[in-house]
């Protein structure tokens, strides 16, 4: 059991690294194509990555669920709608803020989830409120500039964090009823369709630009979406829920490292202090003893 738990934690750490570095690919892709087209194409690739698993079925499901059930399609499409809203808020926000800011502000979803759970009748413990308080102070230091100005990109990332929190709750509801691989495929496909339609209406479509964005699309679609999600599913068969939430929150740290290494991003000292406080808030919110029902939905999803 200990070996399985260690293997799961290492896979989750690799997943966090993939998702964190995915923020760089998201930024790089928009050097050539618009945010909606990038989201649409990368989630289409992610759907194709999961298609073999969908067709072969999930061996971990005792009774294979028919693919055409109304509940499965409804769940996948509702989750896909939330995913499309969250990812496109994040994607557009990256036009106006840094990878570091985006990674840390998006990571606030690990605090949003138990807060949303409070409105669903779940008990919200002291750790959540302490974590939320530290995260708010940290975001102030990270995002608020001179004259109390906050960039529009940071506001979009914050709105996206709340959407990601709602998405996690939705996944927690539907994943307990349906095959998670098929749900993931349907939500990725729904997100891809919505994003491509938005791109056709609002953005120019240039095949040469798409080819120029191909490396970022391949990483964002195949690696961040397809491989990242599959690793998460494999890991969380043996992962402890609280460990999974803590390790996945390190996505923000890896986003900051990737932004500094690959894009040359840097922060003032108050920005780094803000990042540290936000990470501390996320960890406190997850490590503080609380009811399992609050923590459980985090097993099902992530923000990137």
Phi, psi dihedrals of residue 180, rounded to the nearest 5°: -65, -30
pLDDT tens digits for range 26-59: 888 898 999 999 999 999 999 998 888 777 765 5
304 belongs to a structural domain: no
Least confident of 107-116, 184-193, 211-220: 107-116
SS3 94: coil
Neighbours of 207 (CB within 10 A): 7
Domain count along the chain: 1
Residues 224/269, Cβ–Cβ less than 8 Å: no
Q: If we measure between CA atoms, which residue out of 198, 158, 152 comes closest to residue 37? A: 198
pLDDT of residue 293 exceeding 50:
no
Alpha-carbon gap, residue 277 to 104, rounded angstroms = 10
134 belongs to a structural domain: yes
**Considering the entire predicted model, what is its pTM?**
0.75
9 belongs to a structural domain: yes
Least confident of 162-176, 203-217, 238-252: 238-252
Alpha-carbon gap, residue 190 to 193, rounded angstroms = 5
Neighbours of 42 (CB within 10 A): 32
pLDDT of residue 150 exceeding 90:
no
pLDDT of residue 210 exceeding 90:
yes
SS3 144: strand
Q: If we measure between CA atoms, which residue out of 284, 291, 295, 177 comes closest to residue 240? A: 295
122 belongs to a structural domain: yes
Burial of 23 (0-12, 13-18, 19+ CB in 10 A): buried
Identify the domain containing residue 291 by its residue range.
2-299
**Which residue stretches of the chain are H helix?**
2-29, 35-56, 70-93, 99-106, 109-119, 126-143, 152-174, 180-202, 207-212, 214-218, 228-235, 241-249, 251-263, 269-287, 292-295
Residues 30/95, Cβ–Cβ less than 8 Å: yes
pLDDT band for 208, please (50, 70, 90 cuts).
very high
Alpha-carbon gap, residue 75 to 128, rounded angstroms = 28
Alpha-carbon gap, residue 238 to 5, rounded angstroms = 6
Alpha-carbon gap, residue 269 to 15, rounded angstroms = 28
Question: What pLDDT, on a 0 to 100 scale, did the predictor assign at position 114?
Answer: 67
Residues 161/112, Cβ–Cβ less than 8 Å: yes
Alpha-carbon gap, residue 247 to 13, rounded angstroms = 6
Alpha-carbon gap, residue 187 to 203, rounded angstroms = 23
């Amino acid at each position: 059991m200990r070996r399985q738990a260690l293997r799961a934690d290492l896979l989750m750490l690799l997943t966090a690294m993939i998702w964190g570095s995915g923020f760089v690919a998201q930024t790089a892709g928009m050097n050539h194509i618009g945010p909606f087209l990038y989201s649409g194409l990368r989630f289409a690739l992610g759907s194709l990555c999961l298609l073999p698993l969908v067709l072969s079925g999930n061996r971990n499901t005792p009774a294979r669920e028919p693919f055409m059930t109304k509940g499965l399609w409804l769940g996948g499409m509702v989750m896909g709608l939330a995913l499309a809203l969250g990812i496109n808020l994040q994607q557009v926000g990256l036009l106006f803020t840094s990878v570091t800011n985006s990674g840390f502000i998006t990571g606030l979803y690990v605090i949003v989830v138990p807060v949303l759970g409070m409105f669903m009748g779940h008990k919200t413990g002291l750790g959540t409120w302490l974590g939320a308080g530290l995260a708010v102070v940290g975001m102030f230091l990270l995002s608020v500039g001179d004259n109390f100005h906050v960039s529009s990109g940071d506001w979009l990332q914050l709105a996206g964090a709340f959407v990601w929190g709602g998405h996690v709750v939705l996944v927690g509801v539907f994943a307990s009823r349906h095959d998670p691989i098929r749900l993931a495929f349907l939500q990725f496909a729904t997100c891809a369709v919505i994003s491509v339609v938005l791109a056709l209406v609002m953005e120019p479509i240039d095949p040469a630009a798409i080819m120029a964005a191909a490396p970022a699309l391949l990483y964002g679609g195949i690696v961040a979406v397809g491989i990242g999600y599959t690793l998460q599913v494999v890991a969380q068969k043996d992962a402890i829920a609280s460990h999974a939430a803590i390790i996945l929150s390190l996505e923000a740290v890896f986003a900051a490292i990737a932004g500094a290494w690959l894009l040359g991003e840097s922060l003032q000292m108050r920005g780094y202090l803000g990042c540290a406080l936000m990470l501390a808030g996320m960890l406190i919110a997850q490590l503080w003893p609380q009811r399992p029902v609050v923590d459980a939905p985090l097993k099902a999803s992530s923000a990137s």
